[in-house]
Every structure is written in structure tokens, then in C-alpha cells.
Structure 1
């Protein structure tokens, strides 16, 4: 019997390598590097070594190792490849300008994409009347839970003076500036930006109204968020400059009120939600935090009283003329704070913990809730 001759697998073509690179995404922009003009050149040597030249957006790109690894893995998977060599270069100013135009257009001033008519991004301003009610904890856990559901999620730490979101979300990398765009880091599947990423150490931010407004404009307009399903903004307590600025910058945003069961906290939380009646925003709902504590014997105790969340929901329903639901009651759990300090939200580190279960349910309700017309501006005017 005569055996058919064997043939070695042929070396890949340049076209095949380029096609494989379409599956490599820029970690910050989440678009194929082939679409972003990041592939400098491709050569296939006689020894089947494939050399790929990659343009980085900036010389100090914090994710250069990730791009190198992803490129190597994508090309190595092709049949016939002997070895892969990745050579890194840096975009010129002209190339960065073209990249910015391809992503953001050629507008003289950055636009806030979430304020455009027809934007499909749900924007939630997480507010509270007073500090210490767990507003930031609720924000990062909702964001992480939504991202775990497969949504594209961003968080703006709008509490300029009391920023805490980066630590609680586990964001250790800083943002990258590409020409007039700021690329936000990603942590636990969530894009995040905070003034704390631009200040040295734990330095305080001592700003007044106009500077706070400008910071928010930059976070919303100059940061490249991409196509988000949900944007969460962690507001400072109260109804001051930040809340007013956001109502102006994002008139279609919705307010999510966080309170504790305590009557005094609930009264203050009502004021934070009632600002929506003046700004014509919609109140998405109320979250009651620290509702009860489960004791070792399985019983529960209400350390901060009861009924505060329901009271706020009912009061805001009357003020807004539409139902404002109590979205959930989150039990008091020391692990929520511990998880925040460790940089891994409880909904990810211990998803079956009672507090995590409630927060994941709230995230689901906010993710799938259909849009309504209540509180929305309509393009009509009296004749």
C-alpha cells in the first residue's frame, strides 16, 4: 500500500494574520486594534516567525503588556505559526488626532453623549440627604452587579470632596489621556473616573461651585465612555452645586435615593429626592440601606428603626405625582464595608450573602425596567 505524501502546514499569510488581529481589542477603547489604526505592519519570516508592529496610543500606556499578550495569543492560534514577536511603537500627534476624530468626531468642544437626544444610556444619579447612609457602597455594588449581568457600565465619582469609589471598586490604574480624550480605567468590569485619580496621594480637593461644574463637564464630555448601557453617578450628600449641575448637564438622568430606616435620615433623604420636582427629573426609586442586622442565633434586630425607606417612597410618590418604588431593603452586613476596603464589591466576592442578593435584585430591576414618559421632556409647546 502506498501512503500519500505528507505536507507541512503552510505559513500564514499577512492577510490571515490581520484577520486574526480583528479579535484583539484595545483594553481601554474596547474596539479592535485593526479598526483603530494600531497595527503598524505585519511580516511573516521564512522561519514562520510572525512579527506584528503595534502603535500604542501613548508612550506610557499602562496596558501595553495586555495588548502584547492578546496579540501574541491571537496570532499564535493560527496554523503554521512558528513564533510571534510583537514590536511596540507610539502614535504620532497626527495619528492620535485621527483616532480621536474617528471616536468622537471633529467637534470643537467635547459633547456629553448622554445628553444627546435619543441616547440609550440609562443615567442614574445616586443621591442621599446626608452622609453615612452607604450611598457609595450601594453605587459600586449596583455597578458591579450590572456589569456581571453583561451590561456595559460606567461610574462617575461625582462626590468631588469625598471621593471614595476607586478604592471601593478596586480601581488601581489611572486614566490615560489621548489628545483631547481621557480613557477611564476599568475595574471589576466597570469603567470608572474620579477626581482622586488626578490628585497626589490623599490630598484634599478644595474647590467651589464653578470648578466643581467644570470637573463634571470633563468627566462626562472628555472621558471616552464608549457605548454604555448604564452610567451611575455617586453624588455628594445634600442638594448643593453638584446636584444642580448634573440636572443641567444631564436633564434626562434619573435620581436613585438612598436612605436608612431612621426617621431623621428619611426626612433628609426626601429633600434629596424632592429636588427632582424642581429640575423635572425622574426618581427611579428608593433603596433602604442598613435595614436590619442578623444576629448569630438567626434572629434580626433593627438598629436604626424601621419604615424610613417606605416613608421616603410614599412621600416622593406624592410630590412627583407618579409611583416611586421602594426598590429594596439592604440588611446591615459588616462584609459590605470589608469588601469595599478590599476593592471587590460584595456582589462579586460573596454573591449569596443576604445583602448581595438584595443589591443584585435591585440592579436587575434597574437594568430591565422599561422606559416611561413620566418626568421626561417632550418636544411639544403650547400654541
Structure 2
């Protein structure tokens, strides 16, 4: 990438884009330049005006997913704590106990787990509205990035492509009819996917999964703080891998610690 001035008033960036087997160079328009430096006060004034204009816009208006009554986010601050297992079991339990329509949406673009856990291996069909039709098993409607790529294929994408995939999974899936619960299996952490979901759709609440270790609890606490900032209520905390039961004698051992999530819930006032 290189920057240059075209004419006397506009600055452009020259960017190489990979297209197929070749490279294409495009110019991206940048900022204005002038021979005389603007006064500091004038520059600060323009910056303040721009900040006020951005603040007036506020967050993007959240939309409701058609045919979906409640969206429940299952999240974790760290990977490997059993978040996907919890999301799948929550969806199955809701369908059995509440006897209602339930969907399961795998939001982990880089490491989708739902296809294997739900024993699904096919590509979704496209309906007349150009929306993807979810695959179903065990009475649960499912959608995942794993349905769109080979099982062992690595998704090597930068942020904009990931956000485009997230938006398509959220808003271009033909759920229904009358889905009472849509469970979202989130990627770990507090990154772009979490922020996009909080801005794009109405979320009923979030469930945070953690193990008793201090490091996992620290990241889970960060996740709870993130949901608080984007005004999504935390419905509860789940402590996974809480205890190991000996298969021979039944003795219980707290390998990773004890009551860590309970202490965290008390600190968060839950």
C-alpha cells in the first residue's frame, strides 16, 4: 500500500487487491491537503463538530429477526469452556420442556461446532426470497458457517469479510415459522461479532459460560462487562467442568477450583 497526492488538494491511497490469481491496483480517496497548514484552533473546532455529529447519530437501530420471538446469546470470555456444548443442550432443553420452535445459530465463523454436534452435514437451500433455509435435526433448526464451507477448510478472513458473513447469517436466514427461541452460539471473547450482534438485532439476554479457573473467570467477567455496556441483560452464569466424578468410586474432585462462578455472580450482583 502506498499513499500519494493527486493534484494539489486530494490525497489518495493506492491499494493492491488480490483477485483470482492476479493483483489489481485501486485508488482509495483519502483526506484533503492544502499548501498552508490550517490553524490549530480551526482544526480542533472541526474535530469537535465532527464528534458532536457522530454522537447525534447514536448506535444503529436494532432490528427484529423475522419469525423469532426471543434471541438468547450463549457467550464466553475464553475458548474451551464448553460454550458450544451448553448452547446445543440449551436449545434441545428448550424444545423439549417448552414444546416450542427453537433455532440454533452458530456465530463462530472461524471454528463452527454446531454441524458436528447436531450431526448435520449438508448445504442449506435458498428460498424464493434469496434467504438460506436452516437445516433441522432433533427438532432444532440450525444454521452455521460450517454448512457453507468444507468441514476441514480453514476460514482465513479479515474483519470486513467476517462481519459480512455475520450479517448474512443473522438477517438472511429464513427462520420459522413462529420460532420462540433462537440460541446464538458465539465465538469466545468480546470482539467484532459480539459488537455487531448488539448493534444489529434485538437480544433478549445473554448467558455466560465459564470454568472455575481464575483466568477463565477473569475473561468471563470482561464478557459480562461488555454486555452491560451494550445494554444486553445477562440472564445468568453457568459453571462448566465444576467437578470430576471418579467412574469407579464416585468420589468428587474439584480439579479446577470451587465456587468460582458463584463468587463472580455475587460480585456482579446477580
Fold conserved between structures, TM > 0.5? yes
Residues 296-335 of structure 1: matches in 2 within 5 Å?
296-317=248-269, 324=270
Structure holding more helix per residue? 1
TM-score by length of 1: 0.51
C-alpha contact (below 8 Å) 1:124/1:233 kept by paired residues:
yes
Q: Which residue of 2 aligns with 1:187?
A: 137
Shift of 1:206: 1.4
> Is 1:241–2:192 an aligned residue pair?
yes
How far apart, in 2, do the equivalents of 1:208 and 1:244 lie? 16
SS of the residue aligned with 1:258? strand
Structure 1 residues 316 and 208: alpha-carbon distance in aligned structure 2, compared to 1, 3 A threshold? farther
C-alpha contact (below 8 Å) 1:139/1:232 kept by paired residues:
yes
Structure 1 residues 120 and 181: alpha-carbon distance in aligned structure 2, compared to 1, 3 A threshold? closer
How far apart, in 2, do the equivalents of 1:112 and 1:219 lie? 14
Summarize deviations over 1:59-112 as a string: whole Å, max 9, x none. Answer: xxxxxxxxxxxxxxxxxxxxxxxxxxxxxxxxxxxxxxxxxxxxxxxxxxxx95
Shift of 1:209: 2.1
Shift of 1:128: 0.6
> Is 1:178–2:127 an aligned residue pair?
yes
Structure 1 residues 127 and 201: alpha-carbon distance in aligned structure 2, compared to 1, 3 A threshold? closer
Summarize deviations over 1:241-283 as a string: whole Å, max 9, x none. Answer: 1110111012434111000111221111110111012101110
Q: Please, which runs of 5 or more residues in structure 2 have no aligned partner?
A: 1-61
Shift of 1:113: 3.8
Residues 217-256 of structure 1: matches in 2 within 5 Å?
217-226=167-176, 227-256=178-207
Q: Which residue of 2 aligns with 1:337?
A: none
How far apart, in 1, do the equivalents of 2:254 and 2:215 lie? 15
How far apart, in 1, do the equivalents of 2:187 and 2:68 lie? 25
Q: Which residue of 2 aligns with 1:160?
A: 109
Q: Which residue of 2 aligns with 1:198?
A: 148
C-alpha contact (below 8 Å) 2:63/2:202 kept by paired residues:
no
How far apart, in 2, do the equivalents of 1:203 and 1:286 lie? 33
RMSD: 1.8
Q: Which residue of 1 aligns with 2:86?
A: 138
How far apart, in 2, do the equivalents of 1:299 and 1:156 lie? 37
TM-score by length of 2: 0.72
Q: Which residue of 2 aligns with 1:49?
A: none
Structure 1 residues 112 and 176: alpha-carbon distance in aligned structure 2, compared to 1, 3 A threshold? farther
C-alpha contact (below 8 Å) 1:184/1:191 kept by paired residues:
yes
SS of the residue aligned with 2:220? helix
Q: Which residue of 1 aligns with 2:55?
A: none
Paired residues, what number?
A: 205
Residues 91-170 of structure 1: matches in 2 within 5 Å?
113-114=64-65, 121-149=69-97, 150-170=99-119
